[in-house]
């Protein structure tokens, strides 16, 4: 009468695994649908975009069926978000006996060991999510990568791009592995929370909390590290990339670099996965079956999660508050740190109380919430002091071993954007990029790092320097420091004598002549030519128009940068308005002779802004190059002047004044933008103009 199936532990595991797979068939179908949408379908939708790139020989070309491009991104983003949601929801569904009381008896009574049940559930859930995801990823790669490489090869051949085709597939592979890692991480974090919680709602809510709070906590720790004003930033992207899923996504958004760049990275992430998985296993093993139905089966995990969340928000508030105070000049704004901290207390204490009421279901135990909150606040303060003090100093001082460095990239910025006029000419370009690919360069970068100064301690002219150590293992370590200008000058001199060290010339591309239809803009060597140039420009284009207001374009000129004024041309921004036959001319003029001089220049160009409604905008710089104000819509009856007092008067008349130096004598330089539609381009000339612009865009301007 009875069957005589012989079973052992191994076959039971297999039977249970298969049984669980069968029970998850609905979830499997959902995963399949969204995997297909997110990957193969998105790849297919992107093919017309690639075709168009190939036809128009442009990386930035829009597809003729432009909706395909949008659809491919829509499919990808929505599909991936839903899939991540499914990965994170799966443990709560598959381990339902941890959050539904009536399921405990069924699963607990089955003739299985704990290990068989745990691994059967873990692996079946993961299989149901990961199998369609991986298969669809492979299909999408097969659709997209060969065609993409083909198109890039064509663009390279036509000198449109110089992307290394042989590196595209490995890069996309790393991206694919990173994608898988993000999904698996979402699953494992959710698994950890599920084995600790006792209700479905708690499992889902805290799975999201843990996935968000880990990278958030790491990010605020990094932020606190820069809290002493030295601007030491220990590559938040690097740290976050090891904290999938959200940390990795954020890091990818910041750096554009996948989390897995080497076998070492993969091993680190797999080790983190193993820790989470083993923690889940042992917690589940010692978890009591009767805890199902309670808010949290492992109370310590609930308290840890809420405490870390509260602590992270408080730490963030401390970092913002103290940094804000450092940057503040006005005594009227010193009240802000208190406000920030008060708000952070408010926004943390209310959710904590609500959650604890739900957790304890007993008001008599709420004193524990007060104790927990006090501990969180104390912990956050202690952590802030630690991070902004010794840890910050360690981060500032840390640099990789010279032998591990493949290449060093230095980027020296001007102190503040637009503040050209007070800088030495040699450094007047936006950024100086240096690729130092030998050990000497690496040593120099490390020396710069050692000589980093504190904004607090030194207000002498300084530069922000980004150092990017590209390591031999594929990762990057980035430092953002501030060093004295003298040091930079020394560096330039130092490197000027080293042959082959600088891959990029220090001087930006020089454009002496940029031809706009029938007009040579740059030919002179002084901003004194500006009225003449602007008048000529207006005259020629306006006269070519023949029709009124068919369009206008925007052009940036800089009187102080005669050597490389064309550097400010950014036609890619304007190409779209050109296509739409709506072009405007925008002239920011940087004048170091003061405000009145600027007005005179514009007036002498033939523009009478006193009589029309064109708004003026201008930026004011304090004498230590801080941008203190950018204001718009200056009233017509304002008294213009060139002294600090007058500028201060102006600022008071405008709305949205921020961070005004107490002493108006500190105000020094103005730059004025006269912004209005000036020139009208005849429709028949638009194509011609576009061609010229595109030519410069592709060759002269961005090389």
**Positions that interact with another protein (CB under 8 A):** 1-7, 9, 12, 15-16, 19, 100-106, 108-114, 116, 288-290
We find the least distance from the C-beta atom of residue 103 to another protein, in angstroms, to be 5
Residue 12 beta carbon to another protein: minimum distance, rounded to whole angstroms: 6
CB of 120 to another protein, least distance (A): 11
Which C-beta is closer to another protein: that of 103 or that of 440? 103
Which is nearer to another protein, 105 or 576 (by Cβ)?
A: 105
Nearer to another protein, 90 or 541 (CB): 90
At its nearest, how many Å lie between another protein and the CB of residue 7? 5
Nearer to another protein, 12 or 324 (CB): 12
| Nearest distance, CB of residue 17 and another protein, angstroms | 11
Strands of the sheet containing 476-484, edge to edge, are 431-436, 405-413, 462-471, 476-484
671 bridge partner residues: 590, 619
- Give the shortest CB-327-to-another protein separation in angstroms: 52
- Neighbouring CB atoms inside 10 A of 160's CB total 18
Listed in sequence order, the residues at least 6 apart from 214 whose beta carbon sits closer than 8 Å to its beta carbon are 189, 243, 246, 247
| Nearest one of 465, 481, 333 to 410, comparing CA atoms | 465
Tell me which residue of 549, 548, 496, 553 sits closest to 686, measured CA to CA.
Answer: 553
Q: Decide if 532 contacts 519 (C-beta within 8 A).
A: no
Q: Is 406 left (phi over 0), alpha (psi -120 to 50) or beta?
A: alpha
C-beta closer to another protein: residue 106 or 138: 106
Query: What is the nearest approach in angstroms of another protein to the Cβ of residue 116?
Result: 8
Helices 336-360 and 299-327: crossing angle, nearest 10°? 170
Nearer to another protein, 102 or 458 (CB): 102
Cα–Cα distance, 221 to 149 (Å, whole number) = 40
Least Cβ distance, residue 199 to another protein (angstroms):
16
Closest to another protein by CB, 288 vs 691, is 288
Helix (H) or strand (E) holding 104: helix 101-109
Q: How far is the CB of 187 from another protein (least distance, A)?
A: 22
Residue 413: phi, psi to the nearest 5? -100, 160
- Distance CA(70)–CA(235), nearest Å, equals 32
Buried-state track 38-71, b at ≥16 Cβ within 10 A, e below 16: bbbbbbbbbbbbbbbbbeebbeebebeeeebbeb
Of 597, 646, 599, the C-alpha closest to 620 is 646
Cα dist. 605→371, 439, 514, 598, 612 in Å?
70, 53, 20, 11, 15
Closer by beta carbon to another protein, 93 or else 412: 93
CA proximity to 400, closest of 473, 491, 469: 469
Collapsed DSSP state (helix, strand, coil) of residue 474: coil
Using CA atoms, how far apart are residues 649 and 217, in angstroms rounded to an integer?
A: 44
Q: Smallest gap, in angstroms, from Cβ of residue 306 to another protein?
A: 21
Beta carbon nearer to another protein, 102 or 424: 102
Work out how close the CB of 28 gets to another protein at its nearest, in angstroms, rounded to a whole number.
15
Q: Which is nearer to another protein, 23 or 413 (CB)?
A: 23
Q: Cβ closer to another protein: 16 or 648?
A: 16
């592995």: which residue's tokens? 177
Instruction: Using the minimum distance from each CB to another protein, give the nearer residue, 292 or 631.
Output: 292
| Minimum distance, C-beta of residue 106 to another protein, in the bound complex (Å) | 5
Nearest CB to another protein, comparing residues 287 and 666: 287
Residue closest to 693 by CA, chosen among 583, 549, 570: 570
**Residue 185 and residue 280: Cα distance in Å, rounded?**
13
What does the block give as tokens for 578?
Answer: 């050109």
- Please, what is the minimum distance in Å from the beta carbon of residue 32 to another protein? 20
Chain-centre distance of CA 97, in angstroms? 40
Nearer to another protein, 9 or 652 (CB): 9
CA–CA dist 162, 435 (Å, integer):
18
- 271 vs 627: CA distance, rounded Å: 46
Select from 132, 100, 102, 118 the least CA-distant residue to 25.
132
- Closest CB 121 distance from another protein, rounded Å: 14
Task: State the number of CA atoms in the 13 A half-sphere of 531 facing the CB.
Answer: 13
């Amino acid at each position: 009468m009875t069957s005589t199936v012989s079973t052992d532990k191994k076959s039971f595991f297999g039977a249970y695994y298969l049984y669980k797979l069968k029970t998850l068939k609905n979830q499997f179908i959902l995963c399949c649908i969204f995997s297909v949408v997110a990957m193969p379908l998105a790849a297919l939708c992107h093919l017309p975009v690639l075709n168009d790139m190939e036809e128009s020989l442009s990386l930035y070309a829009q597809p003729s069926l432009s909706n395909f491009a949008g659809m491919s991104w829509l499919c990808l983003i929505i599909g991936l978000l839903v899939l991540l949601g499914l990965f994170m929801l799966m443990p709560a569904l598959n381990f339902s006996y941890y959050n539904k009381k009536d399921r405990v008896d069924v699963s607990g009574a089955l003739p299985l060991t704990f290990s068989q049940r745990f691994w059967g559930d873990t692996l079946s859930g993961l299989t149901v999510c990961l199998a369609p995801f991986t298969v669809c990823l492979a299909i999408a790669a097969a659709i997209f990568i060969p065609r993409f490489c083909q198109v890039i090869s064509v663009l390279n051949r036509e000198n449109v791009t110089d992307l290394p085709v042989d590196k595209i597939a490995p890069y996309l592979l790393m991206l694919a592995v990173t994608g898988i890692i993000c999904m698996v991480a979402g699953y494992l974090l959710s698994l950890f929370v599920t084995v600790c919680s006792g209700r479905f709602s708690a499992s889902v809510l805290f799975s999201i909390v843990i996935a968000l709070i880990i990278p958030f906590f790491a990010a605020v720790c990094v932020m606190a590290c820069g809290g002493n004003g030295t601007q030491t930033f220990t590559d938040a992207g690097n740290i976050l990339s090891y904290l999938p899923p959200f940390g990795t996504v954020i890091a990818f958004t910041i750096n554009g670099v996948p989390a897995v760049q080497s076998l070492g990275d993969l091993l680190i992430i797999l080790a983190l996965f193993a820790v989470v998985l083993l923690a889940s296993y042992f917690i589940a093993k010692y978890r009591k079956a009767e805890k199902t139905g309670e808010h949290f089966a492992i109370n310590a995990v609930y308290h840890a999660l809420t405490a870390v969340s509260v602590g992270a928000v408080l730490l963030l508030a401390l970092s913002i508050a103290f940094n804000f105070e450092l940057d503040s000049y006005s005594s009227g704004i010193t009240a802000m740190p208190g406000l920030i901290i008060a708000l952070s207390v408010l926004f943390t204490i209310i959710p904590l109380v609500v959650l604890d009421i739900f957790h304890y279901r007993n008001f008599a135990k709420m004193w524990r919430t007060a104790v927990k909150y006090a501990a969180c606040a104390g912990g956050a303060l202690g952590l802030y002091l630690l991070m902004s003090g010794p840890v910050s100093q360690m981060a500032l001082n840390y640099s990789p071993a010279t032998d591990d460095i493949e290449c060093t990239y230095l980027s020296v910025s001007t102190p503040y954007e637009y503040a050209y006029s007070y800088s030495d000419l040699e450094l007047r370009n936006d950024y100086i990029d240096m690729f130092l690919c030998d050990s000497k360069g690496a040593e120099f970068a490390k020396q710069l790092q050692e000589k980093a100064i504190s904004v607090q301690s030194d207000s002498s002219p300084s530069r922000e320097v980004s150092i990017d150590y590209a390591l031999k293992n594929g990762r990057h370590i980035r430092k953002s420091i501030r060093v004295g200008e003298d040091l930079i000058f020394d560096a330039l001199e130092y490197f000027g004598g080293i042959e082959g060290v600088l891959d990029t010339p220090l001087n930006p591309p020089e454009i002496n002549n940029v031809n706009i239809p029938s007009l040579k803009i740059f030919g002179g060597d002084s901003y004194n030519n500006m009225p003449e140039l602007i008048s000529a420009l207006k005259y020629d284009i306006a006269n070519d128009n023949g029709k009124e207001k068919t369009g206008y374009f925007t052009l940036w000129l800089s009187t102080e940068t005669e050597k490389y004024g064309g550097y400010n041309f950014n036609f890619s921004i304007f190409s779209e308005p050109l296509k739409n036959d709506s072009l405007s001319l925008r002239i920011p003029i940087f004048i170091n002779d003061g405000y009145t001089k600027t007005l005179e220049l514009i007036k002498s160009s033939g523009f009478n802004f006193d009589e029309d409604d064109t708004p003026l905008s201008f930026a004011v710089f304090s004498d230590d190059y801080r941008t203190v104000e950018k204001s718009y819509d200056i009233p017509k009856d304002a008294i213009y002047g060139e002294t600090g007092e007058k500028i201060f008067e102006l600022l008071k008349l405008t709305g949205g004044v921020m961070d005004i130096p107490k002493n108006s004598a500190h105000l020094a330089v103005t730059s004025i933008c006269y912004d209005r539609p000036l020139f009208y381009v005849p429709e028949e000339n638009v194509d011609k103009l576009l061609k010229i612009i595109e030519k410069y865009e592709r060759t002269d301007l961005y090389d």
